[in-house]
Structure 1
Amino acid sequence: MSIKRAPRNVIIVYADDLGFGDLGCYGTHQIETPNLDRLCADGLRFTDAYSTSAVCTPARYSILTGRYPFRNDRAHILPGDAQCIIEQGVDTLPAMFKRAGYHTGIVGKWHLGLSDGNAPIDWNQDINLTPIDLGFDESFIFPATADRVPCVYIEGRRVVNLEPEDPIEVTYDEECVFDDIPTYYKNPELLNMRSSHGHDMSIIGGIGRIGYMRGGKKALWRDEDLAETFLNRVIKFIDDTQKKEQPFFLYYALHQPHVPRVPSERFRGATELGPRGDVIVEMDWCVGELYKELQRLGILEDTMIVFSSDNGPVLDDGYLDGAYELNGTHKPTGPLRGGKYSKFDGGSRIPFIVSWPGLEHKGVTHALISQVDLFASFADMLGMELPDDAAIDSQDQYAALVGKDPVGRKELLVEDVTCGKMLRSGNWTYLSPSEGSPYMKQVRIETGLSHDPQLYNMDYDIGQRENVAWEYRSVVTDMEARIRKIMESRKTR
């Protein structure tokens, strides 16, 4: 059986902190996600797809570079004023598409740092290293996450709507000297949302943020508008590219359901689960609007949509928004253990959907796949040869992506928030011994950290409840040795 024609266009839709059990097509009955359920029905739903990390920055680094996070010692959760962790000269997924003649764009969350680091970022001037220096022809982003300053959009190299007479200043220094700005403890009367931990520095839009920001009042985003602002830029990118009659690659990095969860007015109360459920419904609507635009332009048949999430879910990630109290019987991780930050599968086993009429097989696949594989897989699809130093951990799994190969990878590596390692190999999952607490009290999530080795048979223990490391010591020895070999290797592809 041969793989059918390649899609003309490719869109990666990347959610933020969405869990394995948060979508209807992955089993929830508490949140209605008809548009993503339609992608599932028309496409391929993966049960064994993984991010490379249980937190966002390392996962995003991997999907764009084809490298495991441990290859870059700066691939950790970044502040909003961080230097870019992808250096110019490192090959990237959009750069590869660009070499193949595609028009490339990013819209949404970035969180990989900006500038070359030779000087602090001057938000009032052109920023000298942004996504447009890393393979993207067009870029409309916010710098980090919605809970971190600066709370502004950046198009290309410039902050959008910035007035010269109201310059922006940003600092993450706890000894902030911005005495003239509203802050969490100084001005509690301005808060619309309270913090459960952290998020207690600048108040912007009635919400406490991480970091301090002064100035740029007309450049500030309105949280309720984030979803539609990004969606409108996505539609503009697609429409403009179609006028050029050029194939496109789009990385649509959603901000939902990351905190602070502030749905637009039309989605308030959309679920009984509070803001977290509401923003997932809002996210699903955005995907539906994207789908309708592709239909309107007559290019749906020629476009592959890959939908996934950067890592697993968390309910309380710093704001008192009722996520725990209103969650009811909903299980954001589905049958998985752990969640965001965790070494257990709930941290990095994520929803992963491929939708395209040219799929060899539709329905459900148990192929083992990592998001790091998108780079080499799309290179194969495009007939592009990769240099030896490019995408060194990415494996060509295009046959699995389109449903021809039901097996996928033999093994894959994942990191938790402490950079501890998990190896999935066939039906075995091995968690290497780690220092640290087995439970993160602030977010109420099991970390999977233990001084003991942990081994789970995923064929019958998807919830990782029965540690069989002592019964299968030879498997433990082999998998620990394999982790060391991967980490010492120059490449695994």
Structure 2
Amino acid sequence: MSQPNIIFILADDLGFGDLGCYGQTLIQTPCLDRMAAEGMRFARHYSGGPVCGPSRACLMTGQHQGNGYIKGNPPQGNDEPLRPEDTTLAEVLKEAGYETACIGKWGLGKAGSTGYPTLKGFDYFYGYDSHRTAHNYYPEHLWCNDQQVKLPTGAYSHDLFTEEALALVQRKRDQPFFMYLAYTLPHNPYNPPDDAPYSSMDWPEEYRNYAAMITRMDRDIGKLIDMLKELNIDGETMVILSSDHGPGSEYNREVADMVRFFRSSGPFRGMKRDVYDGGIHVPLLVRWPGTIHPGVSEHVSAFQDFMPTLAELASGTTPAGIDGISMVPTLLNQDGQRQHTLLYWEFINMGPIRKSRQALLDVSEGWKAIRIGSKGKLELYQLNDDAAETNNRAEDYPEVAARMESQFNSIRGPSNLWPLPELGDPPME
């Protein structure tokens, strides 16, 4: 098998239930629904964390939040950069002979830091270097490699990213390439150039805009797939679509009401910042015509699995000490798929009100433990018959609760940047 081109599209704050192929009925996503029908749709895929920074770090390094260096979003939006010793997926693929590009939101090291994209394996970078700047869809400038590029007034950054992605595929079509297309849609603010095709809907303006942002992204991913077909590299290219975590709450009741209106979290409890499944259970679509057979996979996977998976498909070298497990047997319909034992997530807020939430999933038995605060009372859910996490079984199964409590205390490495607060707070319901 020759090295496939790899396009990894990461949406920002896209919920499990925001796509038609995952049950959405109000928001139109025809291109991604077609991608799901032509590829593999994962029913049980998890992000690297419930907020942007640690989730993206997990994707890039193959280490879960307990072992990874970046465990949370720093306060005031100041990005903590990846270190020189943190090997990224881009570095692995570059070493394997790929041309590598990052387009969109980075957030793992601003310009001048050790974590800047061109220092972490990307030959080309165009986009936002930080989380904070990515929250403005109409910026005065973006970064192109190590230079700031001024933009025309009113330019919508998402559209520029799509143009850049299409141009890059044109340029690199004759050589193996890895494009990390980190879209910023549908993260707030909800202010797209227009609200088509929902202008006539009797919804609040913010709802129309949110839906329009998702449909706009869907349209542009369709353009990208159409170009692969036009260039006759469709069968040589694997396209992946996922989201960095659950749909946004921003601790804003109006946004939370919108998430509920669209059922953006699907059948799950919670949303962004929660370690209930609504905050971490995300869509995953993988399309590679002629190689990946269409279907639905129930394999339990997470962001750390992309490092070994893509390294194997690219004939690269998987770094030692990662937490991921290759999904190649599942993708290629082969025997021998290994399974995770435990999956771990956390949310640590190091702002004025320190808070922590942790989650641990026993993959084989379906038990999921939630701990609010490092000394908080444990919640225990059996996901096999309670995917919505509504029935706390901790008192019914004290031995399971005790076992998972002890596992919490061993799975998380120490961190001076993100010490684990003792006090927590309830999730936004």
Scaled by the length of structure 1, the TM-score of the pair is 0.74
Instruction: Check if 1:259 corresponds to 2:191.
Output: no
Match of 1:42?
A: 38
Alpha-carbon offset, residue 84 of structure 1: 5.0
Change in CA separation of 1:363 and 1:237 when aligned onto 2, cut-off 3 Å: same
Instruction: Check if 1:14 corresponds to 2:17.
Output: no
- Which residue among 436, 460, 478 is the counterpart of 2:385? 460
- Which residue among 144, 147, 159 is the counterpart of 2:135? 147
Change in CA separation of 1:81 and 1:160 when aligned onto 2, cut-off 3 Å: farther
Change in CA separation of 1:364 and 1:72 when aligned onto 2, cut-off 3 Å: closer
Q: Deviations 1:431-453 (Å, cap 9, x if unpaired)?
A: 343239xxxxxxxxxxxxx9321
- Which residue among 202, 223, 226 is the counterpart of 1:289? 223
Change in CA separation of 1:266 and 1:54 when aligned onto 2, cut-off 3 Å: closer
Instruction: Check if 1:340 corresponds to 2:272.
Output: yes
Change in CA separation of 1:383 and 1:327 when aligned onto 2, cut-off 3 Å: closer
Match of 2:295?
A: 363
Give unpaired runs (5+ residues) of structure 2: 350-355, 415-429
Alpha-carbon offset, residue 51 of structure 1: 0.7
Q: Deviations 1:328-370 (Å, cap 9, x if unpaired)?
A: 8420111000000001000000011111124454221110001
- Which residue among 369, 372, 393 is the counterpart of 2:304? 372
Instruction: Tell me the secondary structure at the aligned position of residue 262 of structure 2.
Output: coil
Alpha-carbon offset, residue 296 of structure 1: 1.2
The aligned amino acid for 1:147 is H
Instruction: Check if 1:482 corresponds to 2:412.
Output: no
Aligned residue runs from structure 1 range 306-345, under 5 A: 306-315=240-249, 329-345=261-277
- Which residue among 104, 113, 117 is the counterpart of 2:109? 113
> Partners in 1 of 2:319 and 2:391 — Cα distance?
43
Instruction: Tell me the secondary structure at the aligned position of residue 265 of structure 1.
Output: coil
Alpha-carbon offset, residue 112 of structure 1: 1.6
Match of 1:158?
A: 147
> Partners in 2 of 1:433 and 1:227 — Cα distance?
37
The aligned amino acid for 2:56 is R
The aligned amino acid for 2:358 is K
> Partners in 2 of 1:328 and 1:435 — Cα distance?
26
Aligned residue runs from structure 1 range 87-102, under 5 A: 87-102=83-98
Alpha-carbon offset, residue 266 of structure 1: 7.0
Alpha-carbon offset, residue 472 of structure 1: 1.6
- Which residue among 104, 116, 130 is the counterpart of 2:100? 104
Alpha-carbon offset, residue 459 of structure 1: 1.3
Match of 2:420?
A: none
Instruction: Check if 1:130 corresponds to 2:116.
Output: yes
> Partners in 2 of 1:74 and 1:387 — Cα distance?
18
RMSD: 2.8
> Partners in 2 of 1:310 and 1:355 — Cα distance?
19
> CA contact under 8 A between 1:140 and 1:154: conserved in structure 2?
yes
> CA contact under 8 A between 2:74 and 2:80: conserved in structure 1?
no
Match of 1:420?
A: 357
Instruction: Check if 1:451 corresponds to 2:376.
Output: yes
Query: Structure 1 vs Structure 2: percent identity of aligned residues?
Result: 29
> Partners in 1 of 2:153 and 2:63 — Cα distance?
32
Match of 1:399?
A: 329
The aligned amino acid for 1:395 is I
> CA contact under 8 A between 1:15 and 1:310: conserved in structure 2?
yes
Instruction: Tell me the secondary structure at the aligned position of residue 165 of structure 2.
Output: helix
Instruction: Check if 1:470 corresponds to 2:395.
Output: yes
- Which residue among 342, 347, 350 is the counterpart of 2:282? 350
Match of 1:301?
A: 235
Aligned residue runs from structure 1 range 32-71, under 5 A: 32-71=28-67
Q: Deviations 1:131-178 (Å, cap 9, x if unpaired)?
A: 0110001100112243269763101011112xxxxxxxxxxxxxxxxx
The aligned amino acid for 2:94 is K
> CA contact under 8 A between 2:100 and 2:177: conserved in structure 1?
yes
Q: Deviations 1:391-436 (Å, cap 9, x if unpaired)?
A: x222222222444467743331122344532111224243343239
Instruction: Check if 1:28 corresponds to 2:27.
Output: no
Aligned residue runs from structure 1 range 193-272, under 5 A: 219=151, 222=154, 225-242=156-173, 245-265=174-194, 267=196, 269=198, 272=203
> Partners in 1 of 2:168 and 2:413 — Cα distance?
41
The aligned amino acid for 2:121 is G
Change in CA separation of 1:376 and 1:74 when aligned onto 2, cut-off 3 Å: closer
The aligned amino acid for 1:232 is E
Instruction: Tell me the secondary structure at the aligned position of residue 386 of structure 1.
Output: coil
> CA contact under 8 A between 1:83 and 1:115: conserved in structure 2?
no
Match of 1:435?
A: 373
Single out whichever of 477-486 and 230-239 deviates more from structure 2.
477-486
> CA contact under 8 A between 1:80 and 1:144: conserved in structure 2?
no
The aligned amino acid for 2:271 is G
> CA contact under 8 A between 2:111 and 2:146: conserved in structure 1?
no
Alpha-carbon offset, residue 474 of structure 1: 1.9
Alpha-carbon offset, residue 32 of structure 1: 0.8
The aligned amino acid for 2:316 is M
Alpha-carbon offset, residue 33 of structure 1: 0.2
Change in CA separation of 1:221 and 1:375 when aligned onto 2, cut-off 3 Å: farther
Alpha-carbon offset, residue 457 of structure 1: 1.1
Alpha-carbon offset, residue 385 of structure 1: 2.8
Q: Deviations 1:217-269 (Å, cap 9, x if unpaired)?
A: xx5773x6222100000011111112xx2110010001011011222337363
Match of 2:424?
A: none
Match of 2:421?
A: none
The aligned amino acid for 1:143 is D
Q: Deviations 1:190-227 (Å, cap 9, x if unpaired)?
A: xxxxxxxxxxxxxxxxxxxxxxxxxxxxx5773x6222
Instruction: Tell me the secondary structure at the aligned position of residue 25 of structure 1.
Output: helix
